[in-house]
Structure 1
């Protein structure tokens, strides 16, 4: 069994940094989105949630790499991030044109699950600032080489956001490994995100390249089959039944 060699804390500014999109989450409480008149709001993002959890639960020094349109919604999400204790130094701000034609911030309407009915999310995240980050926009050498990071986390949701985000993820993990940071990656396969940029074939192409630099890969059977092309013995195409006694 291999052992992860994590850099000493006194040599790094951060214990952990996450790369991903952070959306404003709107919760209708016990009701449905389609009939709601009030929403509770907070921030959320698959990759960012790890940074926030490590900060709030374990007191670790964390930060996030992302981007927002510079308007009141973006500043609201930034305020939520700061309330969670996550550093905001690496957030990039994009000029807002007044209506969101060129760039905007993501919204995620999320209903709670009850009984056999699962939770239901309605993301509104097209053309967001985070999805428009391109290779070369982030100074990864400063982050990993000068500031120092013990652990870097990102995932398949961010990699699937646009044509440019796979290149951003690959660039980030390459520099992270170069400077000795542990890299974790949550496959988190979402067909709806990959469909418009090449589907499952593109997902496998991107994730196989990213996997070369990953120390800790997170996912279930569906994630590994869809994202990496692995085959799981004894299951059908939809993984509708898994033999747990095997």
Structure 2
């Protein structure tokens, strides 16, 4: 199939290949231990939307930036330094004055256990009233960001959209502006029950997700997130025969493509999480004509957080680079597998290593 099936405006010297709109949190990692008896934590930066921008930059060499807000205090400064260490442009971060105790604004925190064996991974967020959750649609000059010399791609996600009514409206404004300027848009529904189930108006949340999806070129999600976030009735699709069964998710993707005319493709991961230390893993991309599925593999996990974001980064990289849809799922799945082999939200890897895994090269020591 032609690699031009996913239509994308050509590069003509824009400032960024991709921008990500979302919250960047500080992640506190107790390593092999548990939060409840931890005496020390390793600190990383992370966020569902930002992780894609970081992967695009640090692994794939794209010029990426983050659209977010941070408090003007030491925690905000730490987050900025960690973002800069990954090569992501911090020039569009908005800084909010801090009142000294966090009543007006604060840094979002995420405490994450990796899990092991039958002990599932655990995430505990402490992010209410964070600086990013208070972003409003008028805070950015969208026309400047997405105009001729701005960005080629915008990525955002359902985690950011679920933070507050303001963040949902900000995401809607961003994707509409990107669409207006011919900038490609990707949206990872990234369903989180802890966010949406506590939302004061689930119908409003679904309306926001649908408004964003209607402006997208690439939607990331499976049948479960389509039902929860978009309100799609998919009961007739039945359940997956196995966790790696692509059928129901592919059928749901085809319905999403019919519902949203601007969509060019739907991407989703395949995961068999039989235990926290070893997962079946793969990825798929459905266009209007064809389903592309990566090779599947058994992945030994060190830290599963960020695997899905790394998958999205690999997919977006391939589409930005004109490599085609099959390369997109192969590179995405390989990048996700490598991300889950290292601690922290991001993959500590290189393009050459991702390509080697995508080819199926063995894990023999390289000297």
Higher relative contact order (CA 8 A, sep 6+): 1
Partner of 1:32: 34
Q: CA offset at residue 9 of structure 1?
A: 2.7
Whether the aligned pair in 2 keeps the contact of 1:194 and 1:202 (CA below 8 Å) is: no
Report the Cα distance in structure 1 between the residues aligned to 2:179 and 2:237, rounded to whole angstroms. 36
- 1:14-33, Cα deviation, whole Å (9 max, x unpaired): 11100000000000011110
Q: CA offset at residue 161 of structure 1?
A: 0.2
Report the Cα distance in structure 1 between the residues aligned to 2:246 and 2:28, rounded to whole angstroms. 40
Partner of 1:101: 103
Report the Cα distance in structure 2 between the residues aligned to 1:198 and 1:7, rounded to whole angstroms. 39
Partner of 1:205: 207
Q: What is the DSSP-based 3-state SS (H/G/I as helix, E as strand, rest coil) of the residue aligned with 1:99? A: coil
Q: CA offset at residue 230 of structure 1?
A: 1.9
Q: Is it true that 1:82 corresponds to 2:84 in the alignment? A: yes
Q: CA offset at residue 11 of structure 1?
A: 3.2
Q: CA offset at residue 147 of structure 1?
A: 3.4
Following TM superposition, the consecutive aligned residue runs of length 4 or more in structure 1 with deviations greater than 6 angstroms are none
Partner of 1:46: 48
Q: CA offset at residue 234 of structure 1?
A: 4.1
Of 67, 77, 80, which aligns to 1:65?
A: 67
- 1:48-91, Cα deviation, whole Å (9 max, x unpaired): 00000010111000000000000000000000000000000110
Partner of 1:138: 140
Report the Cα distance in structure 1 between the residues aligned to 2:14 and 2:139, rounded to whole angstroms. 22
Report the Cα distance in structure 2 between the residues aligned to 1:21 and 1:162, rounded to whole angstroms. 12
**Which 5+ residue runs of structure 1 have no aligned equivalent?**
236-240
Distance 1:192 1:38, change over 3 A: same
Q: CA offset at residue 196 of structure 1?
A: 3.9
Where does 1:163-242 land on structure 2 (aligned, <5 Å)?
A: 163-232=165-234, 233-235=236-238, 241-242=239-240
Distance 1:195 1:245, change over 3 A: closer
Report the Cα distance in structure 2 between the residues aligned to 1:143 and 1:39, rounded to whole angstroms. 37
- 1:193-223, Cα deviation, whole Å (9 max, x unpaired): 1234335322211111111101100012210
What's the Cα RMSD here? Answer: 1.7
Q: Is it true that 1:115 corresponds to 2:117 in the alignment? A: yes
Q: CA offset at residue 229 of structure 1?
A: 1.9
Distance 1:234 1:178, change over 3 A: closer
Report the Cα distance in structure 2 between the residues aligned to 1:189 and 1:245, rounded to whole angstroms. 19
TM-score by length of 2: 0.63
